[in-house]
Structure 1
Amino acid sequence: MKRFLICLSIIFCSKTIAQNIISDQQKNNNPIFKGWYADPEAIVFDKTYWVYPTFSAPYEDQVFFDAFSSPDLVHWTKHAKILDTTAVKWAKIAMWAPSIVKNKNKYFLFFGANDIQNDNQVGGIGVAIASKPEGPYKDYLGKPLVDKFHNGAQPIDQFVFKDKNGEYYLIYGGWRHCNIAKLKPDFTGFIPFKDQTVFKEITPENYVEGPFMFIRNGKYYFMWSEGGWTGPDYCVAYGIADSPMGPFKRIGKILQQDPKIATGAGHHSVIKTPNSEKYYIVYHRRPITENKRDSRETCIEEMHFDENGFIKPVTITNEGVKAHLLK
């Protein structure tokens, strides 16, 4: 009898511990992984979630990228230094805001480097290639893909958008200007538009940086960051159009700080889970316990739409999201 009671006690304790672990997972999922990381690009490859962020540190220390993978949005594995400046000879500092696509069984990682301030400096937007999402990646072109200030846009914060017809576009830009350009199928350059221009400006009202685009119900949702990235006014806004070219009229903010939790909430990406209508927004923010500009963490929330297709304001939380396995 005593042995039986001991066994029951062990089972009960084990169950309680398991419940507590589950409870903790549900309560403490933000940030989604440890360390200072910003500008996260989130994507699904096969049955795995991936996040590719900027390593948030002084510019001279931003010389590599880490990636993170998860089967369920809760448990994350770090893949260290999937790309660094030793593999990109022209990149020296400030490797920023990676964007990734899979094309013909290869993975293409687009990134900014060197924080160039004019057309005479070396740097801009580059491309790296690998055979696996975790790399290792190597320089694809041996030079930047974009290295000039077209339409006033600093060549940073690149996002690669695949349209429903299979064409790829590069959408990018800092300094309050945003450009779109049609990529060649092999990503070695660009295809001019019908009017022979290569870079078209699609800058919406209040745009600062961090563009992102997705399609829902045939409409193009264009999202961007506003405000100063070191300040409390940093946030995400969006517009909707019938074409990736816009025009995108600003609808409003959908992600911003909560001074009780964090400031500087912005520069995001969006995941739609395959075969479902679940959407997640992955973004960075600065904890209220921090005041250093580079103390930024990567977080996630579920994103919802109203009956008219508008994005509902997102509440930033410490809970984050519950586990969601891909089928």
Structure 2
Amino acid sequence: MKYIVPLCFFLFMGSAGNAQKTTMNSSPNNNPVFEGWYADPEGVIFDKKYWIFPTYSAPYDEQVFFDAFSSPDLVHWTKHEKVLDTSAVKWAERAVWAPSIIKKDDRYFLLFGANDIQSDEEYGGIGVAVASRPEGPYKDHLGKPLIAGFHNGAQPIDQFVFKDTDNQYYLIYGGWQHCNIARLNDDFTGFVPFEDGETFREITPENYVEGPFMFVRNGKYYFMWSEGGWTGPDYSVAYAIADSPLGPFKRIGKILQQDMDIATGAGHHSVIKVPGKDKWYIVYHRRPLDETDRNSRVTCIDEMHFDDDGLILPVKITDEGVESAPLGKM
């Protein structure tokens, strides 16, 4: 059995009304990075700290809150409990998924999916919450979903906020094998149509299922997504490269997938770039080999590398994870 529950000690203290639990891993392995069932992790850096905002991996009716985790070095993590829950979002009842967070001006915007709607007749979709600190507390920004229906066949889930090099903010999202991109307005209350009048433009590449993510490296736009079924061992991550956030995106290949010596179902990821360095980490979830429950998912981090042509090299998923990397010393 490859999965080892980390040995931890707990330190409780108050912050923003939320208890915090500092977890120190006494195992030689750093994956998973913190204990508990968590999936769909978004990794980001705020104020010389690493942050991860994941989905609480549980039955849909129990997915009614988000925890967040912060670290000075990618090894020691502090848990910020219930930075947002459905008591603050009256229209969200269940299945709050895949948080995406971005800082704009002096506010932190947390976007999320809720209610797992299956048609335009059901109420739910993609919401926006806002706070003055990354650990919250967050409040509902709109009092209703930002996107409450289906466009181009895309289920309104798995949202990712992308800031382009020209400071334009985009929302990239979609399940059910369709992905849309839309231009956010200045206060994240709606969208600015493209020049042709279209608001939601489809950019779906080959084999896309869900979990979009985008970043820029050396002037190129890397678009990444998850393939396969999230409950099965074939879950994986693939990517494409284009000259614009609008594509077109031609699939290059998979770079993250299961390793039957380590774990299955490796997918729904994000990417962290170390400021000022060409150093990259991939943050993702996977299922331990001895687990069969679909919600038994853990959050892990491994390094991500490129070849001389700028292509992403296949990621080796590991139990060891990554070494301590304090931002203040970089």
Tell me if TM exceeds 0.5. yes
State the identity as a percent.
73
* C-alpha deviation, 1:259, in angstroms: 1.1
Query: What is the TM-score of this pair, normalised by structure 1?
Result: 0.92
Task: List per-residue Cα deviations over 1:26-52 (Å, max 9, x = no partner).
Answer: x31000000000000000001000000
Task: List per-residue Cα deviations over 1:36-90 (Å, max 9, x = no partner).
Answer: 0000000000100000000000000000000000000000000000000000000
Question: What is the SS of the residue equivalent to 2:283?
Answer: strand
Instruction: Determine whether 1:174 maps to 2:178.
Output: no
State how far apart, in whole Å, the 2-side matches of 1:33 and 1:78 are: 9
Query: What is the TM-score of this pair, normalised by structure 2?
Result: 0.91
Counterpart in 1 of 2:73?
Answer: 72
Question: What is the SS of the residue equivalent to 1:151?
Answer: coil
* C-alpha deviation, 1:23, in angstroms: 11
State how far apart, in whole Å, the 1-side matches of 2:123 and 2:224 are: 29
State how far apart, in whole Å, the 2-side matches of 1:77 and 1:280 are: 19
State how far apart, in whole Å, the 2-side matches of 1:279 and 1:185 are: 29
Counterpart in 1 of 2:90?
Answer: 89
Counterpart in 1 of 2:234?
Answer: 233
Matched to 1:127, the amino acid is V
- Matches of residues 219-258 of structure 1 in structure 2 within 5 Å? 219-258=220-259
Counterpart in 2 of 1:148?
Answer: 149
Question: What is the SS of the residue equivalent to 2:152?
Answer: helix
* C-alpha deviation, 1:111, in angstroms: 0.2
Counterpart in 1 of 2:11?
Answer: none
* C-alpha deviation, 1:260, in angstroms: 1.4
- Matches of residues 262-273 of structure 1 in structure 2 within 5 Å? 262-273=263-274
- Matches of residues 44-55 of structure 1 in structure 2 within 5 Å? 44-55=45-56
Counterpart in 2 of 1:326?
Answer: 327
* C-alpha deviation, 1:113, in angstroms: 0.2
- Matches of residues 50-129 of structure 1 in structure 2 within 5 Å? 50-129=51-130
Matched to 1:315, the amino acid is K
Matched to 1:30, the amino acid is N
Matched to 1:218, the amino acid is G
Any unmatched runs of 5+ in structure 2? 1-23
Return the index of the structure with the highest Cα Rg.
1
* C-alpha deviation, 1:304, in angstroms: 0.2
Higher helix proportion: 1
State how far apart, in whole Å, the 2-side matches of 1:120 and 1:141 are: 20
* C-alpha deviation, 1:193, in angstroms: 0.3
Question: What is the SS of the residue equivalent to 1:152?
Answer: coil
Matched to 2:71, the amino acid is S
Task: Return structure 1 stretches of 4+ with deviation > 4 angstroms.
Answer: 22-25
Instruction: Determine whether 1:314 maps to 2:315.
Output: yes
* C-alpha deviation, 1:24, in angstroms: 5.7
Matched to 1:143, the amino acid is K
Task: List per-residue Cα deviations over 1:262-319 (Å, max 9, x = no partner).
Answer: 1000000000011111100000000001000000000000000000000000000000
Matched to 1:237, the amino acid is A
* C-alpha deviation, 1:185, in angstroms: 1.0
Counterpart in 2 of 1:209?
Answer: 210
Matched to 2:114, the amino acid is A
State how far apart, in whole Å, the 2-side matches of 1:288 and 1:23 are: 20
Counterpart in 2 of 1:11?
Answer: none
State how far apart, in whole Å, the 2-side matches of 1:247 and 1:195 are: 17
State how far apart, in whole Å, the 1-side matches of 2:171 and 2:234 are: 27
Question: What is the SS of the residue equivalent to 1:60?
Answer: helix
Counterpart in 2 of 1:191?
Answer: 192
Change (3 A) 1:184 1:23: closer
The count of aligned residue pairs is: 305
State how far apart, in whole Å, the 1-side matches of 2:219 and 2:277 are: 16
Whether the aligned pair in 1 keeps the contact of 2:25 and 2:75 (CA below 8 Å) is no
Matched to 2:78, the amino acid is T
Question: What is the SS of the residue equivalent to 2:238?
Answer: strand
State how far apart, in whole Å, the 2-side matches of 1:121 and 1:232 are: 30
Counterpart in 1 of 2:162?
Answer: 161
Question: What is the SS of the residue equivalent to 1:86?
Answer: coil
- Matches of residues 295-310 of structure 1 in structure 2 within 5 Å? 295-310=296-311
Any unmatched runs of 5+ in structure 1? 1-21
